Amino acid sequence: MLDEATILERLSRAVMDGDEDAATQAANDAVGAGMDPQRAIMEGLAAGMAEMGRLYEEGECYVPELMVSSEALYAGLAILRPLVVQSASGAIDRGVAVIGAVQGDIHDIGKNLVKMMLEVSGLAVHDLGRDVEMDAFIDECMKVKADLLCLSALMTTTIIAIKDYLPVFKAKLPGTKIMIGGAPLNQRLADEWGADGYGENAMEAARVAIRLLEG
């Protein structure tokens, strides 16, 4: 019988190494050992991803490594996630989110990392991609009954779209919390424009999302 600490360590390692096969194997071992799947996700897979995020901030790793790590994370998630949803606590079924980069913006690498962290945290995420028009966000949020709408913009020209969209979303989507992010944005702008939350990076985005949905 493998001990849980070792399995968690292997899950983290697999993500950090970007090794999909190792992630799959460690996830299967976690299941075999009867581990709490949510714990395996958060303290294993997500912990590894968090460490990669830290290394990125420090200039110790780069976007290709982050992307490959996220693929390994998804491989592990594919095994563990269904078990959590079935599990009695249902703790991980945290809500439904819609995400996209606003019209005029085709930068989507950061947005995709945010999407991944939200999925890890137990949200069902509908990704509208990039260059997304206001009405497409509204339609999708209504269709999937979104609890959370996440808007990404990387340019000073496109953050204006967020500013313009926000009052409309507030009026048309009263049951949906709105979180925004992207390099030119900050907490002050988010407050001024009436967003419910702001996240500086993907890890932060996940924390804020959970706070918004549980608060």
Partner 1 sequence: MWCETMSSAERMGALMRGERPDRVPVIPFIFGHTALVCGQPLARAFDDAEESFRCQVLAAEMYGYDGGPLYAYASAGGWEFGGDVEFPAKKYSGATVVTRTPIQNEDDVYTLPVPEDITKAGALPIALGLARKQAEHGMPVTLQIGSPLTWAGSVIGEERMMVWLIKKPELVHIVLDKVSQFLIKVAEHYTKEFGAEKLMAFHGAATESNMLISPKQFETFVLPYLQRINSRVLDLGVTSFFIHICGEQNKNLKFWQQVPVTRQTVMSFGREVELATAMEMFPEQIIAGNVDPTIIQESRAEEVLRQAKECIEVAKYHKGGYILMAGCDVPPQAPPVNVFQMVKAAREFGRY
Binding site for ligand B12 (CB under 6 A): 63, 104-111, 113-114, 150-152, 154-157, 179-184, 199, 201-202, 205
> What's the closest the beta carbon of residue 2 comes to ligand B12, in angstroms?
33
Nearer to ligand B12, 40 or 70 (CB): 70
Give Cβ neighbours of residue 3 (< 8 Å, ≥ 6 apart): none
Query: Per-residue contact track with partner 1, 130 to 159, x per CB under 8 A?
Result: -x-x---------------------xxxx-
Q: Is 167 in the site for partner 1 (CB under 8 A)?
A: no
d(CA 159, CA 82): 36
User: Quick one: which of 34, 64, 175, 215 contacts partner 1 (CB under 8 A)?
Assistant: 64
Query: Per-residue contact track with partner 1, 4 to 33, x per CB under 8 A?
Result: --------------x---------------
Only one of the segments 39-47, 62-70, 138-146, 207-215 lies at the binding site for partner 1 (rule: CB under 8 A); that segment is: 62-70
Question: What is the per-residue burial (b if ≥16 Cβ within 10 Å, else e) of 183-208?
Answer: eebeeeebeebebbbbbebbbbbbeb
Q: Are 94 and 125 in contact (CB under 8 A)?
A: no
Nearest to 146 by CA among 212, 93, 97: 97
User: Quick one: which of 9, 29, 51, 71 contacts partner 1 (CB under 8 A)?
Assistant: 71
Dump the DSSP string for 131-184: SB-HHHHHHHHHHHT-SEEEEE--STTTHHHHHHHHHHHHHH-TT-EEEEE-TT
Q: Is 62 in the site for partner 1 (CB under 8 A)?
A: yes
Q: Is 78 in the site for partner 1 (CB under 8 A)?
A: no
